[in-house]
Structure formats: structure tokens, C-alpha cells
Structure 1
Amino acid sequence: MKNILIVVDMQNDFIDGALGTREAIAIVPKVEEKIREFEGEVFFTRDTHEACYLETQEGKNLPVPHCIRETEGWQIRRELDALRETEPIDKETFGSRELAEKLALLNAKEEIGSITLVGLCTDICVISNALLIKAYLPEVPISVDAACCAGVTPERHENALKAMEMCQIKIIR
């Protein structure tokens, strides 16, 4: 059985760029430590938008250009990227079907013991990916390390953690 760590969207624009927060900056060392100490496979997701972002539904609802492909804001934070062993999974939506399908295929080959998610933003992409993975792999234990996540606001972070907990996702505090 293998364990999986998913590092969600730890990109410059979400840390100290266009949509950065103090809370996002604060979790970087914790996420780095989590990756270094994790025994298992580590996957990274990368929010990816094109230059026409403002014309998309997301862009109309969140008119802040961010994570535009090939920009500095799109890049995974340098110290975390240095720990990456596989290509990031680029995603244009909050949750990645590609990630969930990849995990389902891995589980079919060798049973996954657990999946842990960390990253940004708890209340958007972390929760979306956790619930999507839960739909694809309902019997695999899924957890979210609250200390290695940050939301748009601390209140939204907590709300997302409570929602995931109600959906049988273990919250590590």
C-alpha cells in the first residue's frame, strides 16, 4: 500500500502575488517540511490560466488575473518546486479530474493506503480536489492537514475544513 500527498496550487500568485495572503505565506515552511518528511508519492497541482482569463466564467466572477501560464505568478514556489519529482498536474478548474483519474488508476494497480492534501486555497481548490477525489475513491482514507493549508480568509478556511469533515474527510489539526 502506498500513501499519497497532494500539494495543491502552492504558486506564487496565491502566496504573495496577485491573490496572496499572510496566511498563505505562513504555511510555506510547513508545507516544505511536510513534503520533506512524507513517506510516499507526492503530486503537485498547478492552477493554470491563459491570457484570456478575464473572458472566462471564473475571470468574470474573480476579475483578478492570476496564474497565467508561463508567468512568475504561475510558478510553484521555488523551495517547494525544488522538491518536486514529477511534472505538476495543470488544471484550469478548481478541482482536477485528471488528478482524480490518475489516483483511481494508481489505486487499481496498487491499493492506496491514504491521501493527504495540503495547499491553497482551502475554501476553493483544496476542498474541490478533496471532494472530487472522495467521489472517485470513496473507500480510500482522505485527510487534509489544516496547518498546511490557508483559505481566502481564516473564516473561509475554517468553514471549508468543517464542510470537508462533514464529508468524511479527516482534518488533521
Structure 2
Amino acid sequence: MKVLIVVDMQNDFIDGVLGTREAVAIVPHVKEKIEAYRAEKKTVIFTRDTHGEDYLLTQEGRKLPVEHCIRGSHGWKISSKLDTADSEIIDKPTFGSYDLIERLEELDQEDALESVELVGLCTDICVISNAMLVKNRFPELQVMVDAECCAGVMPETHTTALKAMDLCQIEILHGHAGESEE
């Protein structure tokens, strides 16, 4: 089984309070990637950064005092440009998701995982956190990140995160068609 994980493609990270032009630019590529996986009947899972009204009182909120992805708000919703139909959405209260890992374990029991590919936002926070969790839980699994379907907080931290993941044997793809950097 091949799985695509679409990380936090939410309004607040695209064109909302924490949005960037780089995030806006990847939306069509992510949409194309989702459509390609669905055309081949592969599994697509979305994650959704989810905070409560008390966000500013949390450790993350004290370090990043910008309310974002508050459950139920417009910014919390996954971009309407991306079709979430027939996909599972996993809410996560922090950068990496153990619920995502548990879901992948269940899928692996049903039909052995062949690969997991991650795309989305932000490369340097939630994408890297989830990619590392997947790689640590499934060390022999092909784990990939498509650089052209990700954006970081800043272009330079996006590049740094890609280099860090590459060092941890996460395959970095360049081009939403899925060409490897090798």
C-alpha cells in the first residue's frame, strides 16, 4: 500500500495569519499530487493542526504567540482548493502526530505499507516532524517528501529541513511528478 500524507494544508498556513507566498504557490502542485494518488486508488490522509481557544496559554502559544488553526475557525479548515472527500483527516494538537503513526500501523496490518510520501506545510516544522516519526516507526519503509509540494516558514528553513530529512534517509523528491534528487 502506498500512502500520501497531506500535512496541514490549512487556510491559516496558506494565506491566513501564518501564510506565505511560497505556501500559496504549492497549492496547485499538492492538488495535482492528491489527484494522481486517487487516480491510482492509493490512500490519501490529511493532517490538520488543531488548537483550542487556550492556544496562547500553551507552550507553543507562548513561543509562537499568533493564534492559528483554532478548531472550527476558517483558518483551521483545509483549503477548499483541495478535495478531502474519501480521505481521512487526523487532527493533531502539536507538530508530529502519534495518531497518524497509529493509523499507519493499522493500515500496515491490513495491507503492508510499501511507501509513505509527505507533502504540505510547513516543511521545517510539521512536515519534518511527521516524516521523522514515520521513518523512526518504519525504518525499512520508503519515506519520501516532495520538495515542490512543501513550503517552509522561510525558504532557507525549508531547504535546511529538506537537508536534515535527507540525512535521515528520507528520500527528497524534486518535482511534483516525483523525480528523485539522485
TM over 0.5, shorter chain: yes
Structure 2 SS opposite 1:88:
strand
TM-score, normalized by length of structure 1? 0.97
CA deviation after TM superposition for structure 1 residue 106, in Å: 1.3
Aligned twin of 1:36? 35
| Count of residue correspondences | 171
**Would the aligned equivalents of 1:127 and 1:164 in 2 still touch at CA under 8 Å?**
yes
CA deviation after TM superposition for structure 1 residue 86, in Å: 2.8
Aligned twin of 2:85? 84
Alpha-carbon RMSD? 0.8
Is 1:119 aligned with 2:120? Answer: yes
Q: Report percent identity of matched pairs.
A: 60
Structure 2 SS opposite 1:73:
coil
**Would the aligned equivalents of 2:23 and 2:150 in 1 still touch at CA under 8 Å?**
yes
Aligned twin of 1:94? 95
Aligned twin of 1:56? 58
Distance 2:88 2:141 in 1: 24
Is 1:128 aligned with 2:129? Answer: yes
TM-score, normalized by length of structure 2? 0.92
**Would the aligned equivalents of 1:120 and 1:149 in 2 still touch at CA under 8 Å?**
yes
Structure 2 SS opposite 1:78:
coil
**Would the aligned equivalents of 2:26 and 2:149 in 1 still touch at CA under 8 Å?**
yes
**Would the aligned equivalents of 1:121 and 1:149 in 2 still touch at CA under 8 Å?**
yes
Cα deviation digits, residues 128-171 of structure 1 (max 9, x gap)? 00000111111110000000000000000000000000000000
Is 1:17 aligned with 2:19? Answer: no
Moved over 3 A (4+): none
**Structure 1 counterpart of 2:55, which letter?**
Y
